[in-house]
A and B are shown apart, each in its own frame.
Chain A
């Protein structure tokens, strides 16, 4: 081996060490465990929050990293939820962890099929087509009443205990919470590995300049479809998790409202930033929770105001805003 490789140049440090774990990356998980210990009465809310983070994380991979503009991500959330719902309701399969894997698979298949057609388009056309896909799936679930329960959905799903031991108790949601935290942690490690890989970097290349990616010989559309399928699988897991922890599925899984919410969560937290999903989901759910208590009729006004402020003053979301403050602080310290 040569003593001094060009890779040792200080200019390469940022890229060479980018994937290293930082101390503050333990924070979300410490907060997650702390929440479990401190708020035993809010664990249902907590599980819902964790599901939302996972859903937002899946969207971040497609929207934030690969630049796939989609308003129809609930299509995959719903596909995962109904996979879990139908398999368990009819007693075909009730083991929760394998159910989530099947939910991922079901959503990924829809992701590949739709992505293959959709990802030929870009911008507004793509946006409209993702909406259409979601609407088609929702209407299919509505019409296939005999299998999906139609408008009423499927209630009282008989999900088996986790590891054959821990029951999902509807009154005390500690199993739901810890299970969701575990699933989120695994999926997060997967996404984190992915985005720091050469594949993840090429996705950012496609987002920044698809034409140049073509010109350097990258199989752009294939990469986009693969990314879309992985993102769909993660959204499917989020949907499956939602179905398992609530023990029901209904058409709201495919709602535009749900797709728009996760979009807002990501914008709020900061897209393309890995932790934006966490910050955005927490900000959104906490805002929703407290504003709805304070102003039950007009809480969305507060949310709207917040979004306007983000759009005007913090284009990169809360996390981007904090990053900018931190950088300003750091440069000021360097130059007294």
Chain B
């Protein structure tokens, strides 16, 4: 049996008396398309923060391809291939689209600390970044300032910065949040276009997105795993319907 790409064992995080994440055993295989759903305050984002090393767990372990990375810092985990996007855009707003993306490309290529040659001379960084922008159909706005673009495109850049790291584990925190539904297909197409062998975990509220994207779904409630299964199983699970899918189940478009 091969090791899962990313795995947690008994992972917990307490904030004082609040048990934000409790005893989570979770595995993400190479090529996984996994959705994490649950009501607000279920601990989904805390879980992501534990996976990326922003928070240290109170108990439990995080393994990357079998290697214990529980004590590994955030920057080091990124170098090992674990990358995330944010629920609320965290962009370099005053800079151009190309600069935003080249920021992470330069980090990945290990040139971001070099001082003596201009970034404009780094044709490897520029070519990589432009290629990524072309795939995401952002090349024509490459020189535009990010803050001048419409929200849907900013959301795409949020994704592009992280893809620029070429991760092998990608954690997406509500990638289409706040994007008008007419534009959300741009984001979903970008996610569909990701290399097949990346392990992707997506936190999502929009059940349309979950059913379109995910092969497996985990439901978190109150910091613990409540249910796990295929999208069909989760949808058919009466308990999940009760705690979470209540409204969606009454909505005839989900069927």
Contacts and interface: CB of A to CB of B under 8 A. Distances in A.
Interface in B56-94: 74-79, 83-84, 86, 90-94
B98 A199 contact: no
B118 to A, nearest CB: 4
A215 B90 contact: yes
Contact of A217 (B54, B107, B115, B129): B107
Which DSSP category, helix, strand, loop or mixed, fits chain A's interface?
helix
A204 B75 contact: no
A197 B118 CA distance: 4
A326 interface: no
Contacts of A193: 115-116, 118
A216 B92 contact: no
A217 B79 contact: yes
Given A198-B119, A202-B106, A216-B78, A11 B93 contact: no
B116 A12 contact: no
A119 B107 CA distance: 21
Given A11-B142, A197-B117, A202-B112, A218 B75 contact: yes
B123 A5 contact: yes
Nearest to A19: B118
A212 B90 contact: yes
Contacts of A13: 143
Contacts of B129: 12
Interface string B88-105: 001111111111001110
Contact of A11 (B103, B104, B113, B141): B141
B9 interface: no
B180 interface: no
Contacts of B133: 11
B111 interface: yes
A198 B94 contact: no
A320 interface: no
B12 interface: no
Interface in A304-332: none
Nearest to B141: A11
> Majority SS of interface residues in chain B?
helix
B115 A200 contact: yes
Contacts of A216: 78, 83, 103-104, 107, 161-162, 164-165
B176 interface: no
Interface string A1-13: 0000111010111
B194 interface: no
Nearest to B93: A208
B117 A14 contact: no
Given A11-B140, A205-B92, A212-B161, A198 B74 contact: no
Interface string B180-222: 0000000000000000000000000000000000000000000
B143 A14 contact: yes
Contact of A7 (B52, B86, B126): B126
Contacts of A194: 115
A197 B104 contact: no
A204 B98 CA distance: 14
A30 to B, nearest CB: 24
Nearest to A210: B90
B115 A17 contact: no
A29 B244 CA distance: 68
Nearest to A223: B113
Contacts of A209: 90-93
B111 to A, nearest CB: 5
B249 interface: no
Interface string A217-247: 1110001000000000000000000000000
Given A197-B114, A199-B114, A15 B75 contact: no
A263 B224 CA distance: 52
A7 B142 CA distance: 11
30 contacts: A7-B130, A9-B139, A9-B142, A11-B143, A13-B143, A15-B119, A15-B126, A18-B119, A19-B119, A19-B121, A198-B111, A198-B119, A200-B115, A200-B119, A202-B103, A202-B112, A204-B95, A208-B94, A208-B95, A209-B92, A212-B90, A214-B54, A215-B83, A216-B78, A216-B103, A216-B161, A216-B165, A217-B74, A217-B78, A217-B79
Given A13-B143, A214-B54, 12 more contacts: A7-B123, A19-B119, A20-B120, A193-B118, A198-B112, A202-B107, A208-B93, A209-B91, A211-B90, A215-B86, A218-B112, A219-B113
Interface of B: 52, 54, 74-79, 83-84, 86, 90-99, 102-104, 106-108, 111-123, 125-131, 133-134, 139-143, 161-162, 164-165
Interface of A: 5-7, 9, 11-20, 193-194, 196-202, 204-205, 208-209, 211-219, 223
